[in-house]
Chain A
Amino acid sequence: MSALLSVQGLRVEIAQRHRVLTAVDDVSFDIAAGEILGVVGESGAGKSVTGTAVLGLLERPAYQAAGRILFDGRRIDTLDEDAMRALRGREIAAVFQDPLTSLDPLMTIGDQLVETMRTHLDLTQAEAVERAARLLAEVGIPAPRERLASYPHEMSGGMRQRVVLALAFCCEPRLIIADEPTTALDVSIQAQILDLLRAMCRERGTAVMLVTHDMGVIAEVTDHVAVMYAGRLVEVGPTRRLLAAAAHPYTRGLMASIPDMYRRDEELMQIPGSMPRLDAPVPGCAFHPRCPQALARCAGERPPSFTTGASQVACWLADPAGRSAA
């Protein structure tokens, strides 16, 4: 099975006046057509930066310093600005964490949808308007026809996010990079949007990179999960397996912090401390200052990615040689 998107050894650096920071380091993953890859991890771990790099939208002072990004077997990180823009409008769509950055405050949402579709698809004005109204209905916007005339500021946070989703879906892209697409939405609209995403994957073979903090969403729609910590992938594996038996101590801590609907504890489990800052990277395993299972070597040696079953785990505990040696 060949991947529709293949990210290989991606490294993103941020240039500062006196030094260079590394926001994303040695990140590799594949997404096949029709597959949904969930990306989770600490706030600031580099999830959005990774998505932005795939989209070719990194802006100074951030830049890709190493690695390759392949879309449908073709290298896209070396494309020029115009070629990349054409690809982005038509074949790769983005849904950003912040809906306001994707919407033009001075244009009605109907005009924005119609303009996007007419730029990339061969549609008449009337056909585009028709399709815009249908898309708004599909993402659960009430009174879609009347809402075409609304401006973004006249809508609630969740409604704006649904408009952004409609914009992403409108040209039937082959790859969607969705950064927190449903966090602003209530659970019933969220379920509706996730159904829609899943249907697109199944019926049209759309591939999705879905960044989310919601483990419920991960459990429901993703096929594989990638866990990021301090700019690196620490665990990648099939969703069911990762949720049932996470291997990396950070992933386990993450799972333990989820509040439970049916239990009310005074304190939630929390991983002590915080992720190292970009300007103060930690040698060895970046998680070692917080890791309850850290070994002596963890502070000095960075663990490579080990394959265990169907998962990849960057932790010395997963080292088959280390386990027998220790």
Chain B
Amino acid sequence: MVAKDTILSVDRLTVRFDASPPLLKRLVTGAGRRTVHAVEEVDFEVARGSTFALVGESGCGKSTIARTIAGIQAPTGGSISFMGVDIAGFRTRHAAMPYRRNLQMIFQDPYASLNPRWRIGRIVAEPILTHGLMKPGAALKARVAELLETVGLSPGDTAKFPHQFSGGQRQRISIARALASNPAFVVCDEPTSALDVSVQAQILNLMKRLQRERGLTYLLISHNLAVVAHMADAMGVMYLGRLVEQGNAAQILARPLHPYTRLLLDTVPNPRAPNRARARLSGEVPSPLAPPSGCAFHPRCPLANARCARERPQPIRVEAALVACHAVEEGRLPSRPRANENCLAIPGDAA
């Protein structure tokens, strides 16, 4: 059942990559085919006008989900329903066009995502022209200038090239480009990780303002859990291609249930408490080439038992969250001291 205000619904999404050695090498060495299980049976829904955040270890599949939703990567299985239409099923780029206009992406890397040979004006105008929303001319120029002003750049920047801007300025250009076709949904893959905290505050405030004014929906990927806490209404925690916990962001951040989510939150460095001992995830980082049996987290989980190694946990509902963990289901999850705001001790040097 898809609720009425659901703008995006991802259903059993699976993305695998073939990472086999070349055929000849396989024949000579007897090596088998190798498959990267980047995303496995991921389900989630995003409500219109809200922000859904994806978090998890590097390489767990977040960008792959983002690229699949944005239509850059084809799924291996499952469906993606956007504004009620299965966009994963489109065979050609052309058929997907009307939906693409509503679905734009801001990339992790402001260096690689802007064409270095294009001037800023052309970069920002490109989605408008691609989708046939305006013709070249004075009106388009005015629109581009307006977009640049919206993100805090100057209309005089249109004749410059990307290399003439700093990382933060380039990310503003990406945002201006993403907004150009007036989309309903913006996939933001680490939109502020290249920015200093004061520009980050400006960009996050800008994203929130645009959400309020235009009813934008965001899929936000970030390693910075403070950014997620600030932006997200709902969130999903991924581990090795799977969603292990998802639901209301405030609840998950305050009362995480999945052992991986708990470890993730305990590992966050806090500038206001620099000497707090951070937890460390122990054990070998698992490989998406050969995911562990049962619960993929079991080799590193402090609560793992024999069942965890054998049987994959199914998500169960706990208040406003869905959690896939046997310990939660069996009621053997220890209680967790509530995270509180630590104060910074002032060093004893004289001013």
Contact = CB atoms under 8 A, between A and B. Distances in A.
Interface in A171-230: 180, 183-192, 195, 213-220
* Chain A contact patch, size range: 35 or more
B223 A41 contact: no
Interface string A85-127: 0000000000001101100000000000000000000000000
Given A186-B58, A186-B223, A309-B349, A262 B229 contact: yes
B159 interface: no
Interface string A115-157: 0000000000000000000000000111100100110001111
A245 B345 CA distance: 11
A142 B290 CA distance: 10
B187 to A, nearest CB: 15
Nearest to B195: A43
A141 B57 CA distance: 12
B271 A219 contact: yes
A257 interface: yes
A4 interface: no
Interface string B313-347: 00000000000000000000000000111001111
A191 B280 contact: yes
Contacts of A83: none
B269 A213 contact: no
Contacts of B2: none
A187 B56 CA distance: 9
A269 B340 CA distance: 21
Contacts of A2: none
Contact of B347 (A97, A185, A187, A240): A240
A261 B58 contact: no
A98 B271 CA distance: 25
B76 interface: no
B269 A216 contact: yes
B208 A267 contact: yes
Contacts of A309: 349-351
A326 B187 CA distance: 52
B197 A257 contact: yes
Contact of B108 (A184, A187, A263, A274): A184
Interface string B58-88: 1110010000000000000000000000000
A187 B223 contact: yes
Contacts of B350: 309
B304 interface: no
Contact of B109 (A48, A98, A258): A98
A317 to B, nearest CB: 13
Interface residues of B, number: 75
Contacts of A146: 34, 287, 289
B194 A238 contact: no
B278 to A, nearest CB: 6
Contact of B198 (A98, A141, A270): A270
B201 A259 contact: yes
A282 interface: no
B8 to A, nearest CB: 22
A294 interface: no
Contacts of A241: 347, 349
Contact of B349 (A44, A101, A238): A238
Given A100-B112, A142-B286, A243 B344 contact: yes
B216 to A, nearest CB: 16
B131 interface: no
Given A183-B194, A187-B267, A213-B195, A44 B208 contact: no
A180 B288 contact: no
B314 to A, nearest CB: 25
A260 interface: yes
Contact of A183 (B193, B253, B285): B193
A293 to B, nearest CB: 16
A265 interface: yes
B199 A42 contact: yes
B73 to A, nearest CB: 13
Given A43-B196, A184-B190, A189 B253 contact: no
A244 B227 CA distance: 22
A145 to B, nearest CB: 10
A156 B36 CA distance: 12
A254 B264 contact: no
Nearest to B165: A44
Given A158-B58, A213-B200, A243 B271 contact: yes
Contacts of B345: 244
A241 B349 CA distance: 8
Contact of B21 (A42, A149, A189, A267): A149
Contact of A261 (B63, B204, B253, B263): B253
Given A216-B269, A262-B229, A257 B198 contact: yes
B210 interface: no
Contacts of B263: 188
Interface string B33-66: 0101000000000000000000111111001000
Residue of A45, A217, A260, A269 contacting most chain B CB atoms (<10 Å): A260
Given A159-B59, A261-B270, A266-B208, 12 more contacts: A42-B196, A100-B109, A186-B58, A188-B267, A189-B57, A192-B280, A243-B274, A258-B226, A259-B229, A262-B339, A268-B204, A270-B205
12 contacts: A40-B196, A42-B198, A100-B111, A142-B285, A142-B287, A157-B58, A159-B58, A185-B223, A186-B60, A190-B223, A240-B347, A260-B226
Interface of B: 17, 19, 21, 34, 36, 55-60, 63, 108-109, 111-112, 152, 165-169, 190, 193-202, 204-205, 208, 223-227, 229-230, 250, 253, 263-264, 267-274, 278, 280-281, 284-290, 339-341, 344-347, 349-351
